[in-house]
Structure 1
């Protein structure tokens, strides 16, 4: 009888051990599961056609498909409004989806900090940063200033006599990139006269003399510089950019103004995206960043390579928020 009981207990032990083994292997399998898209992917550009977000999204989608990095169709849709807030609200409604991505840059930090959006970078899943773009400060070709120091000397004497125009609202990117450089040059940034051009006619205002300075992206100035209509006094990059015309633009740093402003640009998904999907997109965006095709895109638009994976990107965003918040507080624009 004891022998039968012993055999019975042994059988139970084997069954339990096997079950535990199955559970462990199942758990390991879940933790190492792979994900790949099985239907079309949507990338949202939270602005109108033709701007930096739109161009980045469309170029990424184009190379992904044409280079065979991602086989599923990728569509780009524009959801303009609120400096990005309309697009962010749309993505927030796609919680956990692995098929709804969006491109963003510093406004996803700036806009919530100045109270114009309820959603910030913490409400989404950072996937990968891809590029670094830079700001440019342009004046008319016949303007009396030939460099940033000449401009800032006049602004130190009478800041309100010079009007700066940008596409973004006060407290957002075109404003803040100018303020950061001007502050380092010794200008009283609280007295800078900045006006918003939401309809994209800032360049027209510059050319007709309504404003004196245009704060914009580097790529938005190239054609007008070639046409001899404007000149770029300085850009916010660490060093000069490569490329025809671009290489002629002096940096603020080489003019003795020891600061920079990076218009980083990357991709996000909704909150709570599956970790396997995050890993998939990290790898695909890295493959995109390393491709010759995307290197050609960067060269065409004057972008620098600035890839970060999901965890590095999140840490970077948190640090950026702290830096920008202090500047907005100084301007009295923090919420």
Structure 2
């Protein structure tokens, strides 16, 4: 009897030991695969040429920005790979968007982008969504200036807002290059914050910012909402005045004398962000890699000098935070476009 019991006990112990060995083996294999996966991802680096994709032709603002990025990356050795600027102009950015998204999951393609990606989709001009790409970083922003002639009866920003709220049809407003752009958004935000009806604004669209200034100086319009750079020569010549800017804080240099809308009592802040996106489907390590590259890039004196020279505002948002930023921007723009009447 005792012999049979001992034999049974030994069998149970053997089975239990065998199960333990099998279980440990499975756990070790799983851990090995997981560690290999994590280590393999964490070590992602570009292994071939990087393409910086631009939505416009050579010589434009986006192209110049891409070439500045490329120059700094190469000179500072921020990326251990060669890079080229690839211009894909046409279709309101659609050619560039489509080209980048032909390379889903490939972090060797970097798209130069701006707030136009969001606005053009909201108003139905472009089928591409923010979710069709992987945000890598927001690099800077360009804010709008509210400009009148030097002899305008509109003495300051508060007087302008009061007029736009009470008698909007009496103020002829020039924008470029189209409705629903960053300047239009900045205008609508200020008027809405002051309690006005943005649908009643009298807006005239011009092909370019310099043409809006020409119309202003000729007395054909009363107000121009524009990026600051085309305005500066006329500001220096004392032929125009800037009543307000759409930034959260006063802008530096020649624009330091212009108050923000917040200073004037209207909670309206909007800038056309400039950033970089990757194709859809990038991994966390790929996003982390590029976020690190661009965080180091924006800290260089060369980048800071270029931002200041082009009257842009320093605004870096990296990695996954940039995705959250775009989501918040999209919600805000969608609501405002409905108020303007450009979206359903």
Normalised to the residue count of structure 2, the TM-score between the two structures is 0.84
Give per-residue Cα distances to partners, 1:205-232, cap 9 Å, x unaligned.
3333333322222333223322334322
The question of whether the paired residues in 1 share the 8 Å contact of 2:165 and 2:194 is answered with: no
Question: Is contact 2:119-2:333 (8 Å) kept?
Answer: yes
SS at match of 1:255: coil
Q: Which moved more, 1:198-207 or 1:304-313?
A: 198-207
- The equivalent of 2:229 in structure 1 is 219
Q: Aligned partners of 2:309, 2:113: CA distance in 1, in Å?
A: 20
Name the residue aligned to 1:182: 191
Aligned twin of 1:147: 156
Aligned-partner SS, 2:229: helix
For residues 260-275 of structure 1, what are the structure 2 equivalents within 5 Å?
260-275=269-284
Q: 2 CA distance for matches of 1:235 and 1:257?
A: 11
Cα gap change, 1:212 to 1:304, in 2 (>3 Å): same
- Give the aligned partner of residue 36 of structure 2: 29
2: CA distance, partners of 1:54 / 1:25 = 45
Deviation readout 1:21-45 (Å, 9 max, x if unpaired): 4553343122233122232222223
1:49 deviation in Å? 5.3
| Counterparts of 1:183 and 1:139, CA distance in 2 | 20
Where structure 1 has 5 or more consecutive residues not aligned to the other structure, the ranges are: none
Alignment correspondent of 1:118:
127
* TM score, norm. by length of structure 1: 0.86
Aligned-pair Cα RMSD in Å: 3.0
In structure 1, the residue corresponding to 2:184 is in which secondary structure? helix
* 5+ residue gaps, structure 2: 1-6
Q: 1:237 to 1:29 in 2, by over 3 A?
A: same
Runs of 4+ aligned structure 1 residues displaced above 4 Å come to 9-20, 48-52
Q: How far off is 1:144 after superposition?
A: 2.8
Look at both structures and tell me which one has the larger radius of gyration over its CA atoms: 2
2:289 counterpart SS class? helix
- The size of the alignment, in residue pairs, is 331
1:186-197 correspondence to structure 2 within 5 Å:
186-197=195-206
Distance in structure 2 (CA, Å) of the matches to 1:18 and 1:294 = 53
2:303 to 291, 294, 297: 294
The 3 A distance-change label for structure 1 pair 229 and 88 is: farther
Cα distance in 1, alignment partners of residues 190 and 65 from structure 2: 25
Distance 1:122 1:56, change over 3 A: same
Which has the larger displacement, 170-179 or 13-22? 13-22
1:100 corresponds, among 91, 101, 109, to: 109
State the SS of the aligned residue for 2:263.
helix
Contact in 1 for aligned 2:148/2:223 (Cα 8 Å): yes
Q: Distance in 2 between matches of 1:120 and 1:262?
A: 19
Tell me the SS of whatever aligns to 1:250: coil
Distance 1:73 1:225, change over 3 A: farther
Partner of 2:173: 164
Structure 1 residue 83, shift from structure 2 partner: 4.5
Shift of 1:112: 0.6
> Measured at CA, do residues 333 and 288 of structure 1 come closer, stay the same or move farther in structure 2, by a change above 3 Å?
same
